A and B are shown apart, each in its own frame.
Chain A
Amino acid sequence: MTRPTSRRDPIGAACRVAALVVLFGFLAFAAYLGFTASQVVGMDFLRGASSGAADSAGIGPALAGTLWLLLLTAVLALPIGIGTAIYLEEYAPRTRLTAVIESVAANLAGIPSVIYGIVGLALFVRALGMGPTILAGGCTLAVLALPVVIVTSRTAIRRVPAGLRLAAYGLGATRWQVVRNQILPVAGPGILAGCCAAFTRTAGAAAPLLVLGTATFMSFAPQTPAHPLTSLPTQIFSWATRSHEGFTALAAGAAIVLLLLLLVMNLVSAFVVRRLGGASP
């Protein structure tokens, strides 16, 4: 038998070309970004504060702001999102109200992030008087992450074999014991993967934070959530829109740091998912 040639399999050949274009495109982009960023990235860049001069500016406050935002998103969105998913799947009776909640959660996951910024501006910044702070940003990003956490957690919970639930109930387990001992250990890797997807979406979101009003010049790193809002994506946006060439390199450097941060988050989550999936809960 011979390998199918492109003449015999034109669709396969086209797919191969498409994959190569994507691969080389990505490598070229990474190389460009890396080369541009290499001019600025160093410890001074990571720790340094904002500056009007391109050669002395750093991302210290913006990086700290993003870490704060991720922490707040995790603290707010994970318990509420996973809790809602567990409630909808395991506790809620199948009524019209739960059908509406399910439909709303599924549709919210597809709404552009800038809309969440407008909601955050009206609700957190103005109505609740938080002002354009990291707390308001964290709350807004938590709302942005929530539908994704709910939808993916529900999918993971629904994939738990019905027989496991039945067997546990048949052995006299209460609903909570079934959830804690059977559902969560089995659905855990899927829930974690979904949460990671939600985090990736929020960590890279600039639009909603720009709507809230972010500080792009900050001389010190935020110590509390009450600090004015700053983040890597908004810092990148600010630098990238300046005409001075030095700021383009700064934007590339900050983008590399953001990508590495997301990469580390994804790797850690993949590692944990594999450990959870492989070990007996």
Chain B
Amino acid sequence: MKRPAATTDAPVLTAERLSVRFGRSIALRDVSLAIPRGRIVSIIGPSGCGKTTLLRCFSRMNELVSGASTSGTVHFAGTDLYGPDIDPVEVRRRIGMVFQETTPFPKSVFDNIAFGPRASGFAGDLQGLVEEALTDAGLWSEVADDLDTPALELSAGQKQRLCIARTLALKPDVLLLDEPTSALDPEATARIESIIRALSPRYTIVIATYNRWQAARLSDLTAFLDRGELLEYGLTETLFTNPREARTESYLTGRTQ
């Protein structure tokens, strides 16, 4: 896979007719969308609509689930991520993902951050890389004095920032965040959101969130998924103020159909 050029308006990720099945059930149906470089894109929709499944398609995580099958294509910088010669491990190093469940490894803060770089055989200044990742995730000042602290002793908000830092240490091109604040209080949520904003010029960020107001606050573009189908995708402001589809409007206004 070649690394995408830093300055280009071309989409960094493009899904075409993407469908995912888990056994007999269809989780995603014919989804096509393009994620522009350097932007924040939110994927919203009711629970079970396929947000997480779509996000996981971008880093080939669905195939770890027994019985999952994916059809369609996902292009990353001109390469089909599902092509026969593509190693999913390499894809996951380039397209980093933070999961909904906050799961620090039962190791020190340092070893958590260093896990990804070590796994990919990083041979440079690991100490510097860990510091940079923790700084970008807004955690450095809180843990700098003792990087040997067991990660499990951090607060919930710190753990989530640790998980973000852990992914940033891979220096990915795209950052996928699955419900990054679902388990956090408003204060910790605000902190994470400001970090996401600060990261956005340097990273293309895709967030799956059940919180429509978070999508409105954070993202440049928003996609609305319902029952595995992409119903609407466009500029966040347009989608929130003038939705094209009645179902989008119902979801955004909290009315059920």
Q: Which residues does A use to contact B, with CB under 8 Å?
A: 93-94, 161, 163-174, 177, 181-182, 185-186, 280-281
B162-188 toward A: CB 8 Å interface, digit per residue (1/0)?
010011001000000000000000000
The answer to whether B64 touches A167, judged by C-beta atoms less than 8 angstroms apart, is no
Find chain B residues with CB under 8 A from A174 CB: 89, 119
In the complex, are the beta carbons of B119 and A177 less than 8 A apart?
Answer: yes
Q: Is B46 an interface position by the 8 A CB rule?
A: no
Cβ-defined contact, B89 with A163, below 8 A: no
Residues in A neighbouring B119, C-beta threshold 8 A: 168, 171-174, 177, 181
Query: Is the CB of B105 closer than 8 A to any CB of chain A?
Result: yes
B116 at the interface (CB under 8 A from A): yes
Whether, in the assembled complex, B59 has its beta carbon less than 8 Å from a beta carbon of chain A, the answer is yes
Smallest CB-CB separation from A178: which chain B residue? B119
Contact yes or no, A170 B59, CB < 8 A = yes
Using a CB–CB cutoff of 8 Å, the interface residues on chain B facing chain A are 59, 61, 64, 66-67, 89-90, 92-93, 96-99, 101, 103, 105-108, 111, 115-116, 119-120, 150, 163, 166-167, 170
Question: How far is B101's CA from A186's CA once the two chains are assembled, in angstroms?
Answer: 18
- Asked whether A169 and B103 contact (CB < 8 A) given A177-B119, A181-B115, the answer is no
Q: Is the CB of B115 within 8 A of A168?
A: yes
Could you tell me if A173 and B96 are in contact, using CB atoms closer than 8 angstroms?
Answer: no
Given contact pairs A171-B119, A171-B170, A281-B107, A166 touches B61 in the complex (Cβ within 8 A) = yes
| Contact, CB under 8 Å: A170 / B106 | no
User: Are A166 and B103 neighbours in the complex by a CB distance under 8 Å?
Assistant: yes
Contact of A163 with B115 at beta-carbon distance under 8 Å, contacts A170-B59, A171-B167 already known: no
- Tell whether, in the assembled complex, residue A171 and residue B106 are in contact, meaning their CB atoms are under 8 Å apart: no
Residues of B within 8 A of A172 (CB): 89-90, 92-93, 116, 119-120, 170
User: How near does chain A come to B1, taking the closest CB pair, in angstroms?
Assistant: 13
A281-B106, A281-B107 are contacts. A170–B115 as well, Cβ < 8 Å? no
**Cα distance, A182 to B166, chains bound together (Å):** 15
B191 to chain A, nearest CB (A): 21
Identify the closest chain B residue to A162 (Cβ).
Answer: B101
CA distance A197 to B64 in the complex (A): 32
A255 to B163, CA, bound (A): 54
With A170-B92, A173-B119 given, is the CB distance from A182 to B105 under 8 Å?
A: yes
- Complex CA–CA separation, A144 to B64 (angstroms): 34
Asked if B108 and A280 sit within 8 Å, CB to CB, the answer is yes
A170, A174, A185 — which one has the most chain B CB atoms within 10 A of its CB? A170
Among B66, B108, B115, B150, contact of A171 (Cβ-Cβ < 8 Å): B115
Q: How far is the CA of A186 from the CA of B104 in the complex (A)?
A: 13
